[in-house]
Amino acid sequence: CSSGFIANPRARKLICPDCKNVTCAQCRTSVSIIVNLMLGVTWEAAHEGISCVAFARWKADNDAEVAAQGVAKHLAECGITCPKCKFTYSLAKGGCMHFTCTQCKFEFCSGCGQPFRQGKKCTVGPYCERLGLHAHHPRNCLFYLRDKEPQQLQNLLKEAGVSFDTEPQGGSSEHQGSGTRALCQVQEQKELPDGLKDDICGRVVPNGYAGLCRLHYTEYLVEKINTHRLDPVGIFDEADLRVCLRRNGKTVPIRRWESEKLYKDKLIKLIKEHLPLEALE
């Protein structure tokens, strides 16, 4: 309420004589409380017998709004949404990129959201009949980039002026024991004899990979590439370029007199002209 009153400066529990609201005097005035979480919050039974700092921590751990924000943040970072029914999932790292929605049974790529279809049911082009179950991934999808060397992906980011990490955050990474190499701490869902289990990746961390294994560092770099909408066609080899054209229903020109570089440049030009990245996303 808007009333004011004079209180005993030693009193911790303040009771308003008008509205009878009970407030903690220390929490209202302390600026050292975690993010000032308790400012203006009324007295709760959980505050009995514990300090304001301890109560603030308890409040943060049990606050529904804070929990909802944490879930939203986690889904924004690790979630995928079904393109058909819009149901959102928390995606565990590891495993294949073929995802089936448990709600509507729609099959799609976890990297780009493109649908998976059986060969003859896909109408993109005649080449699809030979592919069996497949999806038409845009060329910046992890499907195309997961086998690239991290240095290639780094060079693509450098050329675009995009920064990326090479050392773990905080300057350290987890070690299995004294004298052993660091192990990747990314959480994965692993298939074990007794079922699925969430566990750390556990692969060895190479130097300069930001505390991640090669697999997860590649995923990190690809996320950077996609966030900044970079076109990776320049780091594709001839085989990648041919696949990119065929999977999108385009005829691959026959190499005649051209050198390897001229032929590759020819394929890149065709892709950029007829398959602009924006149209594939």
Residues 105 and 79: beta-carbon distance below 8 Å: no
Helix (H, G, I), strand (E, B) or coil at 200: strand
pLDDT at 186 exceeding the cut of 80: yes
Q: What is the pTM of this model?
A: 0.67
Contact 136, 247 (CB under 8 A): yes
Mean confidence (pLDDT) of the chain: 79
204, β-bridge pairs: 183
Residue 31 has pLDDT above 50, yes or no: no
pLDDT in tens, 210-245: 999 999 999 999 999 999 999 999 999 999 999 889
Instruction: Give the residue carrying structure tokens 């999108």.
Output: 248
Where in the sequence numbering do the catalytic residues fall?
96
Look at the block and give the residue holding tokens 């790529």: 109
Angle between helices 52-62 and 64-78 (to 10 degrees): 50
Task: Indicate the domain borders of the chain.
Answer: 13-62, 76-130, 145-230, 236-281
Tokens 């090669």 sit on residue: 214
CA distance 80 to 186: 17
> Percent of the chain, pLDDT > 70?
76
Tell me the sheet residues that pair with 22: 15
